[in-house]
C-alpha cells in the first residue's frame, strides 16, 4: 500500500512542479466553482421569483371582481415550475422547455420563458452548467493531466527503474490511477458540495448520495480510460492523440449521433402540422360558446328528458354552462390525446438517445444526472400534466358555477344593456375554485428507479474500464 | 568456488521469428565484473533484459542469485540494481529526492545523511545534491543511480552501456567506482561496445555476435584483459 501511496504522491509532486498539470486542474476547478456559484445564485433567484409570481397570480385571480364566470375562464391563470434543488448543478431540459404556462379555457398553451430561447448566441456561454462542465470538460482536463502518466515513465526509462525496485505493474497503475482520481475528485468537489447543499435545501439524501456516486463512477471511468491508453501507448504524443480522439468521439460525437438517430427513428410532426391536426379534430366537436350548435343536440335532448321539460328555459340549470362543461370535457379529451402522443414521441426520442449510453459514458451520466436531479423530460411532462389537471379543474369549476349559479335567461340577455350585463355576473367568492399550484418533481425513490438503467450503464462502463486496465497491465511494455 | 550470481543456460530469445539470442551460456561469480561486448544488434541488451524479466526467453533459462527469472522475478528485482544506458531518473526531483523516492519504492527508508554519504562516495559534487536532476549531465545522473544501488545494498548490478556518452574523466571515475564495488563483493554484469573500457575493469569479457557467444576473455592475475586481442576479435566480426 505504501508503494502505491508513494507513486500517487510523486505523481502529484510532478504535476505541482511541472506546473502545466496543476494549472489545468486549477483552471478546471475554478471554472466549475464559478459555474456552481453562478448557477446556484441564478436558480435560487428563479425559485423565489417563481414562487412569488405563483402566489401573485393566485391572489390576482382570487381578487377579480364579480364577473360572468366564462370571462374568468378566459381571464386565465399562470402556473410556474419551481426548480428542483439539484437543478443548481443539472438544469437538464428546464432551460429549453419553459418554466411557465398560461392556463385558460379551450386551450393547452405551451410552456414559456425558456432560458435558451431568451438568450442570444454569446450569452449562452454564460449559462455553462456545472453538469456540462463535469460531463464534457472534466474528461478533457483528466486527459490533459494524465495522458503521459505511464508514457512519460517509459520515455524517460524510469518505468524500468521502478520495476527493478520491485514495484509491480499493478502498483504503478494503481498509484497513478489514485493520483488521477484525486485530480478528478478535485474537479468534482464543487459539485459534491453543491449536492450536499441541495440535500440541505430539501433534496433526499438518498438522491444526492446516488447522484454523487454516479459522478464518482464517471470520473473513475475516465481516469481508467486515460491511464489504460497511456499504459498501452509507447509515446506520449500517441497517447495524447488517441485520448483526444476518444474524448471527441465519446463526449461530442456519440451524443450528437444519439440525438440525430432518435430524431430519424422517431420523427415527430412539426408544431404547425400538429396544430392543424388538433384544429381539425376540435372542429368536429362544435363551438362550446354556442349552445345552439347542432353538436349539442343530443346533450340537449338528454337533459330535457332527464328533467322532464320541453325547453332549455325550463331547465333548473343554465344550459349554456352545461354545454360549456360538456364541450370542455370533449375538447380536453382530444387535446390530451394529442398531448400524450406528442409526449410519447418526445419520450421515445429521448429513450433512443439514452440507449447510446451503452456506447458513451457521457450519455450515460447525462441521462442519469437529469433523471435523478428531477430536470428530465419525464419531469417536464409531469409539470405539463399537473398544469393541465389544474387548468381542467378550474375551468370546469367555473363552468359549473356558470351552470348552477347563473340563470339561463339572465345569461342569454347579458349583452342587451349595461344593466343586463351587470346582472349576468356571479359573486367574486366563486373564484376560490382555483386550487393553489406547487410543482415538485417525483419522489427521490421514483427518480432513482427511473434513472436505474443509466446507473447500470455507468456500472457497465466501470466494468469495461476494469477489464481494460487489466488488459493494459498485461500488455504494458516497459 | 565463488557463488554463481548470474547464470545463463542455453538462453535463447526470439522476436518475430528472428533469433536475437541463440543458446547463450555463461556464469558470473560473486564480486566479479563481467562484460558482454558486441556490435549493434548482437543481442547484448536483450541478454541483460532477460535477467530483469523484461523479455521472455524462448528457450533455456536465466537465474540471478540462484533464483529463476521465469518464476521469481519479483524477488530478483528487489535484490538487484539496474542502470539503463540513459539514466534519466526524474527531472522534476533533486538528486536526493530521486534516491529517496526510489528507495521508498523498494521499501527502504534511508536517512538524509546516509544518502549524502552515498552521493559523496560516488563523487557527485555536493552543490548538485539538492539541484533539480534536469540540470544534471549524464555522468552526474549515472552517479546518482549508482548511489541508489549502493544504498539498496544490491549484491548484483546490471549496467547497460554505462560509459556511452561520458567524457574521459567521467569514464575514469566510473571505472574506479565499479572496481571498488566489485572489490567490496558486488557482482557487476555490464553490456557495452566500449572494448577499451571493458578490458580495464572486467574480470571476464564475453564476445557476442549474432546472438551467440563467440569468444571469452579472462583477466590473468591483476593485469587487465588484453585489449588488442579482444579488439582484434571484435573488429573481425564487426568490420
**How high is the pLDDT of residue A125?**
42
For residues A161 and A32, which has the higher predicted lDDT (pLDDT)? Answer: A32
Confidence at B2, pLDDT banded by 50, 70, 90: low
**How would DSSP label each residue in B143-167?**
HHHHHHHHHTT-SEEEEESTTTT--
Element (H, E) at A108: strand A107-108
pLDDT of A98 above 80: no
* Closest among A218, A207, A167, A211 to A192, alpha carbons compared: A211
pLDDT of A95 above 80: no
pLDDT of A139 above 90: yes
**How high is the pLDDT of residue A438?**
81
**How high is the pLDDT of residue B5?**
92
From A81-85, A219-223, A276-280, A394-398, the region with the lowest mean pLDDT:
A276-280
**How high is the pLDDT of residue A116?**
53
**How high is the pLDDT of residue A112?**
66
If phi over 0 gives left and psi between -120 and 50 gives alpha, with beta otherwise, what is residue B191?
beta
Pick from A4, A165, A168, A477 the residue to mutate for testing the B interface (most B CBs within 10 Å): A165
End-to-end CA distance of chain A: 22
Q: Give CA–CA dist A152/A148, Å, rounded.
A: 5
For residues A362 and B149, which has the higher predicted lDDT (pLDDT)? Answer: A362
The model's pLDDT over A323-333, given as tens digits with 9 standing for 90+, comes to 888 888 988 99
pLDDT of A281 above 80: no
End-to-end CA distance of chain B: 38
Chain A residues touching residue B52 (CB < 8 angstroms): 160, 163-164
Q: Give CA–CA dist B142/B164, Å, rounded.
A: 11
**How high is the pLDDT of residue A121?**
43
Distance from the B163 Cα atom to the nearest Cα atom in chain A, whole angstroms: 17
A453-461 mean pLDDT: 96
Q: What is the mean pLDDT of chain B?
A: 88
Cell of B109: 527508508
For residues B199 and B224, the answer to whether their CB atoms sit within 8 Å is yes
Helix axis angle, A361-373 to A452-475, nearest 10°:
150
Given an 8 Å threshold on Cβ–Cβ distance, is B82 in contact with A160?
Answer: yes
**How would DSSP label each residue in A382-434?**
HHHHHHHHHHHHHHHHHHHHHHHHS-HHHHHTTTS-HHHHHHT-B-GGGGGGP
From A44-53, A290-299, B133-142, the region with the lowest mean pLDDT:
A290-299
**How high is the pLDDT of residue A292?**
79
Given an 8 Å threshold on Cβ–Cβ distance, is A168 in contact with B74?
Answer: yes
Beta-bridged to residue B159, according to DSSP, are B83, B190
Given an 8 Å threshold on Cβ–Cβ distance, is A158 in contact with B77?
Answer: no
Distance from the A209 Cα atom to the nearest Cα atom in chain B, whole angstroms: 36
Q: Give CA–CA dist A294/A22, Å, rounded.
A: 78
From A109-123, A126-140, A230-244, the region with the lowest mean pLDDT:
A109-123
Cell of A112: 414559456
Given an 8 Å threshold on Cβ–Cβ distance, is B87 in contact with A157?
Answer: yes
Distance from the B41 Cα atom to the nearest Cα atom in chain A, whole angstroms: 19
Q: Give CA–CA dist B38/B41, Å, rounded.
A: 8
Q: Give CA–CA dist B174/B165, Å, rounded.
A: 12
For residues A198 and A85, the answer to whether their CB atoms sit within 8 Å is yes
**How high is the pLDDT of residue B233?**
80
* Closest among A63, A104, A66, A88 to A199, alpha carbons compared: A88
* Closest among A138, A152, A140, A137 to A237, alpha carbons compared: A152
The model's pLDDT over B174-194, given as tens digits with 9 standing for 90+, comes to 888 889 889 988 999 999 888
Confidence at A114, pLDDT banded by 50, 70, 90: low
Chain A residues touching residue B84 (CB < 8 angstroms): 157, 160-161
Cell of B197: 573500457
**How high is the pLDDT of residue A124?**
44
The model's pLDDT over B13-47, given as tens digits with 9 standing for 90+, comes to 998 888 899 999 999 999 999 999 988 888 888 99
Question: In a 10 Å sphere around its CB, with 0-12 CB exposed, 13-18 middle and 19+ buried, how is residue A116 labelled?
Answer: middle
DSSP A294: G
> How many CA within 13 A on the CB side of residue A322?
20
Give SS3 for A455.
Answer: helix
CATH number for the segment(s) B4-88+155-238: 3.40.50.300
Domain locations along chain B: 4-88+155-238
Which single residue is written with the C-alpha cell 442519469? A368
Q: Alpha carbon B130 to chain centroid distance?
A: 26
The residues, any chain, with a CB within 8 Å of residue A323's CB and separated by 6 or more, are: A288, A291, A293, A296, A299
Q: Give CA–CA dist B84/A360, Å, rounded.
A: 41
Closest chain B residue to the Cα of A11, Cα to Cα? B92
B-side interface with A, Cβ within 8 Å? 52-54, 74, 77-78, 80-82, 84, 86-93, 101-107, 145, 152, 158
Give per-residue burial for A304-318: e unless 16+ CB within 10 Å, then b: beeeeeeebeebebb
Q: Give CA–CA dist A297/A301, Å, rounded.
A: 6
Q: How many CB atoms lie within 10 A of CB A323?
A: 27
Beta-sheet pairing, B33-37 with B156-160: unpaired
**Residue A5 forms contact with B (CB below 8 Å):** no
Whether this model's ipTM surpasses 0.85 comes out as no
The residues, any chain, with a CB within 8 Å of residue B72's CB and separated by 6 or more, are: none
**How high is the pLDDT of residue B1?**
47
Confidence at B69, pLDDT banded by 50, 70, 90: very high
Q: Give CA–CA dist A407/A317, Å, rounded.
A: 7
Q: Give CA–CA dist B235/B165, Å, rounded.
A: 21
Distances (CA, A) of A351 to A217, A269, A444, B216: 22, 18, 20, 74
Confidence at A478, pLDDT banded by 50, 70, 90: low
The residues, any chain, with a CB within 8 Å of residue B129's CB and separated by 6 or more, are: B94, B95, B96, B116, B119
Give SS3 for A259.
Answer: helix
Cell of A23: 494549472
pLDDT of A422 above 80: yes
**How high is the pLDDT of residue A126?**
46
For residues A93 and A370, the answer to whether their CB atoms sit within 8 Å is yes
Given an 8 Å threshold on Cβ–Cβ distance, is A165 in contact with B106?
Answer: yes
- Total CB pairs under 8 A between chain A and B: 68
**Residue A20 forms contact with B (CB below 8 Å):** no
Q: Give CA–CA dist A89/A134, Å, rounded.
A: 10
| CA-derived radius of gyration, chain B | 18
Confidence at A99, pLDDT banded by 50, 70, 90: confident
A234-262 mean pLDDT: 95
For residues A376 and A343, the answer to whether their CB atoms sit within 8 Å is no
Amino acid at each position: 500500500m505504501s508503494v502505491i501511496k508513494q507513486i500517487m504522491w510523486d505523481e502529484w509532486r510532478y504535476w505541482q512542479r511541472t506546473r502545466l498539470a496543476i494549472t489545468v486542474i486549477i483552471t478546471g476547478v475554478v471554472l466549475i466553482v464559478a459555474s456552481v456559484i453562478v448557477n446556484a445564485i441564478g436558480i435560487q433567484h428563479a425559485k423565489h421569483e417563481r414562487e412569488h409570481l405563483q402566489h401573485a397570480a393566485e391572489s390576482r385571480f382570487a381578487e377579480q371582481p364579480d364577473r360572468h364566470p366564462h370571462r374568468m375562464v378566459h381571464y386565465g391563470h399562470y402556473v410556474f415550475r419551481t426548480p428542483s434543488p439539484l437543478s443548481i448543478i443539472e438544469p437538464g431540459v428546464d432551460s429549453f422547455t419553459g418554466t411557465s404556462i398560461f392556463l385558460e379555457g379551450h386551450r393547452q398553451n405551451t410552456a414559456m420563458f425558456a432560458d435558451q430561447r431568451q438568450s442570444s448566441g454569446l450569452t449562452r456561454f454564460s449559462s455553462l452548467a456545472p453538469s456540462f462542465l463535469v460531463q464534457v470538460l472534466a474528461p478533457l482536463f483528466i486527459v490533459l493531466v494524465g495522458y503521459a502518466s505511464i508514457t512519460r515513465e517509459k520515455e524517460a526509462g524510469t518505468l524500468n527503474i521502478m520495476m527493478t525496485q520491485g514495484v509491480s505493474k499493478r502498483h504503478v497503475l494503481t498509484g497513478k490511477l489514485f493520483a488521477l482520481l484525486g485530480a478528478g475528485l478535485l474537479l468534482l468537489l464543487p459539485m459534491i458540495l453543491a449536492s450536499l447543499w441541495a440535500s440541505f435545501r430539501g433534496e433526499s439524501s438518498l438522491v444526492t448520495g446516488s447522484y454523487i456516486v454516479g459522478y464518482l463512477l464517471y470520473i473513475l471511468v475516465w481516469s481508467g480510460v486515460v491511464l489504460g491508453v497511456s499504459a498501452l501507448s509507447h509515446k506520449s504524443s500517441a497517447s495524447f492523440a488517441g485520448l483526444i480522439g476518444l474524448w471527441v468521439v465519446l463526449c461530442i460525437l456519440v451524443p450528437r449521433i444519439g440525438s440525430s438517430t432518435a430524431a430519424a427513428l422517431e420523427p415527430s410532426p412539426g408544431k404547425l402540422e400538429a396544430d392543424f391536426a388538433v384544429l381539425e379534430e376540435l372542429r368536429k366537436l362544435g363551438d362550446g360558446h354556442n349552445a345552439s350548435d347542432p353538436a349539442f343536440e343530443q346533450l340537449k335532448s338528454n337533459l330535457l328528458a332527464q328533467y322532464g321539460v320541453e325547453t332549455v328555459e325550463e331547465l333548473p340549470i343554465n344550459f349554456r354552462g352545461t354545454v360549456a362543461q360538456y364541450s370542455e370535457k370533449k375538447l380536453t379529451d382530444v387535446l390530451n390525446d394529442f398531448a400524450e402522443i406528442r409526449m410519447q414521441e418526445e419520450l421515445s426520442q429521448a429513450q433512443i438517445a439514452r440507449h447510446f449510453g451503452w456506447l458513451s459514458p457521457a450519455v450515460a451520466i447525462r441521462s442519469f444526472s437529469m433523471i435523478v436531479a428531477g430536470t428530465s423530460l419525464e419531469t417536464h411532462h409531469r409539470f405539463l400534466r399537473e398544469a393541465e389537471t389544474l387548468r381542467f379543474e378550474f375551468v370546469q369549476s367555473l363552468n359549473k358555477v356558470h351552470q348552477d349559479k347563473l340563470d339561463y335567461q339572465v345569461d342569454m340577455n347579458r349583452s342587451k344593456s349595461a344593466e343586463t350585463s351587470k346582472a349576468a355576473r356571479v359573486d367574486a367568492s366563486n373564484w376560490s375554485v382555483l386550487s393553489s399550484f406547487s410543482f415538485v418533481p417525483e419522489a427521490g425513490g421514483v427518480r432513482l428507479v427511473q434513472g436505474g438503467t443509466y446507473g447500470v450503464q455507468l456500472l457497465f462502463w466501470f466494468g469495461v474500464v476494469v477489464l481494460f486496465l487489466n488488459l493494459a497491465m498485461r500488455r504494458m511494455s516497459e | 568456488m565463488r557463488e554463481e550470481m548470474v547464470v545463463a543456460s542455453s538462453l535463447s530469445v526470439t522476436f518475430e521469428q528472428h533469433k536475437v539470442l541463440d543458446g547463450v551460456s555463461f556464469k558470473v561469480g560473486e564480486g566479479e565484473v563481467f562484460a558482454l561486448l558486441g556490435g549493434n544488434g548482437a543481442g547484448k541488451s536483450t541478454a541483460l533484459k532477460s535477467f530483469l524479466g523484461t523479455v521472455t526467453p524462448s528457450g533455456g533459462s536465466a537465474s540471478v542469485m540462484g533464483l529463476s527469472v521465469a518464476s521469481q522475478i519479483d524477488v530478483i528485482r528487489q535484490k538487484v540494481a539496474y542502470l539503463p544506458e540513459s539514466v534519466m531518473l526524474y527531472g522534476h526531483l533533486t538528486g536526493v529526492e530521486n534516491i529517496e523516492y526510489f528507495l521508498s519504492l523498494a521499501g527502504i527508508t534511508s536517512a538524509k545523511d546516509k544518502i549524502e554519504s552515498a552521493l559523496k562516495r560516488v563523487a557527485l559534487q555536493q552543490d548538485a545534491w539538492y539541484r533539480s536532476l534536469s540540470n544534471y549531465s549524464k555522468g552526474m545522473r549515472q552517479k546518482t543511480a549508482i548511489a541508489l544501488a549502493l544504498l539498496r545494498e544490491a549484491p548484483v548490478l546490471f549496467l547497460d552501456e554505462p560509459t556511452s556518452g561520458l567524457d574521459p574523466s567521467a569514464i575514469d571515475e566510473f571505472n574506479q567506482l565499479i572496481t571498488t564495488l566489485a572489490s567490496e563483493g558486488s557482482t557487476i554484469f555490464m553490456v557495452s561496445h566500449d572494448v577499451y573500457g571493458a578490458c580495464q575493469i572486467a574480470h571476464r569479457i564475453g564476445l557476442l555476435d549474432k546472438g551467440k557467444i563467440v569468444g571469452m576473455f579472462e583477466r590473468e592475475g591483476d593485469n587487465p584483459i588484453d585489449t588488442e586481442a579482444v579488439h582484434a576479435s571484435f573488429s573481425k566480426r564487426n568490420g
